[in-house]
Amino acid sequence: MKEPPNEIMRGIFYQYHVPVILFIEQGETMEYKYVGKNYNRPDAISKVTGKAIYLDDIRLPGMLHTAILRPEYAHAKILSIDTASAEKMPGVVKVVTGKGCHYHYGDNIRDLVPMAVEKVRYIGEPVAAVVADTLAHAEAAMQTIKVEYEPLPVYVDARDAMKPGAALIHEENGQYWHLPTLTPTPGTNIANTYRLVKGKGADGMKDAEVILEGEFLFPHGSCSAIEPHGSIVWFKEDKTIEAWSSSICPFIIREDLATSYGVPVSDVRVHIPDVGGCFGYKSDITVEQTVAWIASFVPGRPVKWVATRQEDYTSTLLGHGIRTIMKIGAKKDGKLVAIQATILHSGGAYADTPVNVTMAATHNCTGPYEFEHCDLTGYTVYTNTPAVGAFRGYGHQESQLATERMMDMLARKLKMDPWELREKNFLGEGKVNALGEKMWKTHGDIYKCAEIVKKKVYGKAKHAEDENFYYGRGFAAVMKSPKGAPFSTKGCYMKMNIDGSVSVVMAGAEVGQGLRTVIRQVAGEALKIPPEKVRVYTEIDTQFSPYEWQTIGSMFTTQGGRAIIRAADKLIAILKATAAQVLKTDVDYLEYDGEFIYLCNDPDIRVAIKDINRGYITDDGITIGDMAQAVSDARLPRYSNPDKNGQGSCGVSYTFGVQAAEIRIEKKTGKIFVDKFTSVFDVGQVINPKQIRGSVMGGVLMSIGAALYEKVDYDENGKITNPHFFKYHLPTYKEAPEMDVEFVETPDAIGPFGARGIGEHSVIGPAPAILNAIYDATGVDFFEIPVTPEIMKKALENQGQVTK
Amino acid sequence: MSEKITFTLNDVSTTVDVEPETLLIDVLREDLNLTGTKRGCDNSTCGTCTVVVNGKAIKSCNTPVSKVAGTEVITIEGLAKGMELHPIQKSISESGAVQCGFCTPGIIMELYGLLENNPDITLAEMQNALNKHLCRCTGYEPIRDGALMAQKLMQDRK
């Protein structure tokens, strides 16, 4: 990180200023009272005092601890498990294996098991567990368990697992319950094939005058939140189940445990404490089922499990693992005509969690461009690695790495300016994406984003090569939609208290993204009261919290914000109905200003909100009117399943942006320094400038990590060789570039006050922008990441063979 | 064999009866119920377990408790005086440095060890210290800003 500019030494608050380009119809600037301003996070104080409660900080009466045994092989039959010694060790309460486990679980494909039954399919799979009074006792006993295996062939790459004759990772493939939209291929390791055809499909390529092909790899990575995953499960004597998890999907955990253990959904209570980072992998139920299986053997006692850092890599969900084989056809003038792509997803040992990532990677591989003809196929393939799940960006950064590198290469082939090529094909107003969704002005203005980045980064001379460094610039234009589910919704319960303060309860998981601040500001704006008067929930408890599918897809501000506005509207309507009786008039003659309801033609005739929010007490004590409280929810409008062509209303909400990297490559070492990184997104409406800047910067750095350092490595036996921070390198302070972050605000049609999603989008551009910059600096094209100093150095040494 | 180990913890004389090789982080979290000190890795890489011993920031995940016998140990819980936050806590809470908050206690203790000893440290010294802490949320800029705000507040209080 570079030294801060002088402003910070003087004024300190400079970073709160986020330049915003307002782009609203009629050229008018929309001014909100609370939205668009900086408010501090309501959870900041508990976090800086060490009082925030995370999963591992929870202590329950009688709580036991568990240590889980992992296999020595990534794919093997279990011949025998000897637990006799472990059972006699000090403090041991129970030793658990998968023997007798008859259930599978999963939301998309029910192929998951809580503990290995007859075989292990990846190196981190639970094989057995010890429950003991202390973790140390559990770990000591776990070491004494002896397991005999018969090794089977191991596949870590989808291409190998797909080969004819490959050993089956799931002999049952095709027999598991799955969503009707999925198509497994029995007798193979292909868990799902998703196909999208638009226009003439593959035949569209015949209309092209120039064709470019490429193959790109975004390898497995780990979300690596600083808080490892963990959960606590407690089977209670009254036949209810109580669970705590460092998760973002309490309601999925509740429904899944209820199904697996045959109890009513309402008898499972799930708590979500503060979550120390998620970035994707704490969505979907995985570890909770394993802890539940273990805890089910010691009913009456809560059992806690927290991943070691090694287990966080080997035994929770990984990300990426996507190979994109792409062919783009264009006219000589740069008009894109057709795209063909095959997404090979090394999905890991279980396909329930990767299958939607594959689909998102497939239908979003067009990037922010219109192609008249698309033929896109995505394969979710079983491999002997930890299952892949959500990773911030959810398929988009993986396949758009290909698109954005291809666009630069195509521009070269066409001898065209890469900006001009992109601008000619952007998914602007009136264009139709691969899914068949038409873009409207309210989807945002990518042209404007491009214009700003071009000016900022390319409006000056490129740094000239010197003795020690090559210099380069590269950019990428990106697009992201949520990958949701048709029924996904976010609930809101809002109640106004006697003093006019408001309590808002929702079930959005606060993983650091700052949604509690957003709730305060949106509710304040909607109710016309200062955000300081809005108190936001501090934990999620399915016993009290309104339903939320899960906090994913960058959708909390958009959907949750909409739900808040709906609740506020209902609450104001209740107040007006009461006021109409008090003021003896009709509801539609009344106005609300946050403090009073007053008559529109004579504001002196009014009643104070605090006098009617629990009903109005008349002179004789008789009380009229409803309590000022409301329940609402919001889902994306008309979100649908894909149709027979793989198309449909499967995106609905889009955010577009452009990002650029300015880099330096050390000639001696091959080390790549990102000196400056620029991001411009059309977010519709900034809710909190400080928070949105922080979110974008964090995403950018995370993806710089993917581009330059991060990759889960396997040996030939499927063992992960770098399951620790000192081997799996996360970007540190000194590796963070200077960040330039700016927003365009073309109001969205769905989100609150025009705001659209931005939580994940900043991770999409950095890898292709950096790879494009490497080409700009050295003339070397890379097709996979990370580009480590060793790889870069080798490429520079071979540069004689590369045409610049 | 467990033994009695006495040290000053957040200004209070404290005695624990534990195996001397027990790691300080486990004594703090499990025996003394001070859960503000976090565990983020297995190999002393992430920095979130940082506490201050005799004025110096150390990692509690690789320090046996026997090593702190007779010392003054300060954890994140010892910084605020009642409702009054320490300047570092105040600055970090306002600069945008807190997202998920899991790395926050370690970073605050690192800065406490540095700035309480010498509020006039150079930016390079501060950057070297912050480089020892992993944060996955912020991109570090808001942490730097919070650290500089804290430094200014602490210089002014002299």
The pLDDT assigned to A483 comes to 86
Q: A524-579, pLDDT tens digit by residue?
A: 999 999 999 999 999 999 999 999 999 999 999 999 999 999 999 999 999 999 99
Report domain A55-152+225-278+282-314's class. alpha beta
What does the pLDDT read at residue A298? 98
If one counts every other C-beta atom within 10 angstroms of the C-beta of residue A49, the result is: 20
Arithmetic mean of pLDDT over chain B: 97
CA distance B6 to chain A (A): 23
DSSP string covering A371-419, please?
-SEEEEEEEEEE-SSPPB---TTTTHHHHHHHHHHHHHHHHHHHT--HH
**Are B92 and B147 contained in the same domain?**
yes
Q: Are residues B15 and B70 in the same domain?
A: yes
Do residue B61 and residue B127 come from a single domain?
Answer: no
Best to test chain A binding among B35, B102, B111 (most A CBs inside 10 Å): B102
Cβ of residue A226 closer than 8 Å to a chain B Cβ:
yes
pLDDT of A26 higher than 50: no
- Give how far B70 is from chain A: nearest CA, Å: 24
d(CA A111, CA A192): 12
CATH code: domain A489-634 is 3.30.365.10
Q: Are residues B15 and B38 in the same domain?
A: yes
**Cβ of B77 and A49 within 8 Å?**
yes
Domain count, chain B: 2
Q: How large is the average pLDDT for residues B107-125?
A: 97
Contacts of A579 (CB under 8 A, 6+ apart): A590, A597, A607, A612, A616
| Helix residue ranges per DSSP H, A426-550 | 446-458, 515-527
CA distance A767 to chain B (A): 16
> With an 8 Å Cβ cutoff, are B46 and A512 in contact?
no
3-state secondary structure of A299: coil
CA–CA gap between residue A508 and residue A540 (Å, rounded): 8
- Number of Cβ pairs closer than 8 Å across A and B? 182
Calculate mean pLDDT across residues A186-196. 98
Half-sphere exposure for A511 (CA within 13 Å, toward CB): 31
Average pLDDT over residues A491-515: 97
Q: What is the CATH number of domain A322-428+439-484+640-801?
A: 3.30.365.10
Cβ contact (<8 Å) for A56 and B130? no
Please give, rounded to a whole number of angstroms, the shortest distance from the CA of B138 to a CA of chain A. 4
The answer to whether B92 and B150 are in contact (CB under 8 A) is yes
pTM: 0.95
pLDDT band at A799 (very low <50, low <70, confident <90, very high): confident
Does one domain contain both B65 and B129?
Answer: no
Domain positions in chain A: 55-152+225-278+282-314, 322-428+439-484+640-801, 489-634
Sheet of A590-592, strand order: A590-592, A596-599, A602-608
Q: Choose, out of B98, B107, B133, the residue to mutate when testing the contact with A (most A CBs < 10 Å).
A: B98
Q: Are residues B120 and B56 in the same domain?
A: no
CATH of the domain at B57: 3.10.20.30
Whether B45 and B101 map to the same domain: the answer is: no
- What is the DSSP secondary structure assignment for residue A181, as one 8-state letter? T
CB atoms within 10 A of CB A246: 30
**Containing domain of residue B60, as a range?**
3-78
Which of A3, A40, A308 shows the shortest C-beta gap to B94? A40
Q: Does A137 touch chain B (CB under 8 A)?
A: no
Question: Which pLDDT tens digit goes with each residue over A4-18?
Answer: 444 444 333 334 444
Report whether A384 contacts A169 (CB < 8 A).
yes
Q: Are residues B13 and B49 in the same domain?
A: yes
Q: B125 — contact with chain A (CB < 8 Å)?
A: no
Both B148 and B96 in a single domain? yes
Choose the closest CB to A276 out of B80, B101, B130: B101
**Complex prediction ipTM:** 0.98
HSE of A507, CA atoms in CB hemisphere, 13 A:
27
Mutate to test the interface with B, among A733, A738, A739, A740 (most CBs of B within 10 A): A733
Is some CB atom of chain A closer than 8 A to the CB atom of B62? no
Q: Hey, do A322-428+439-484+640-801 and A489-634 end up sharing a CATH topology, with the first three levels equal?
A: yes
pLDDT of residue A406: 98
Q: How far apart are CA A733 and CA B97, in angstroms?
A: 13
> Would the pLDDT of B158 be above 70?
no
A320-342 per-position pLDDT tens digit = 999 999 999 999 999 999 999 99
Confidence of residue A31 (pLDDT cuts 50, 70, 90): confident
Residue finishing a domain among B23, B58, B78: B78
| CB nearest to A8's CB, from B127, B131, B148 | B148
Burial class (CB in 10 A: 0-12, 13-18, 19+), A796: buried
Choose among A46, A309, A739: nearest Cβ to B42.
A309
Across all residues in chain A, what is the average pLDDT?
95
SS3 A630: strand
Range A300-308 average pLDDT: 98
Q: What one-character-per-residue DSSP string does A660-674 give?
A: EEEEEEETTT--EEE
Q: Are residues B74 and B131 in the same domain?
A: no
Q: Is B74 exposed, middle or buried (0-12, 13-18, 19+ CB in 10 A)?
A: buried
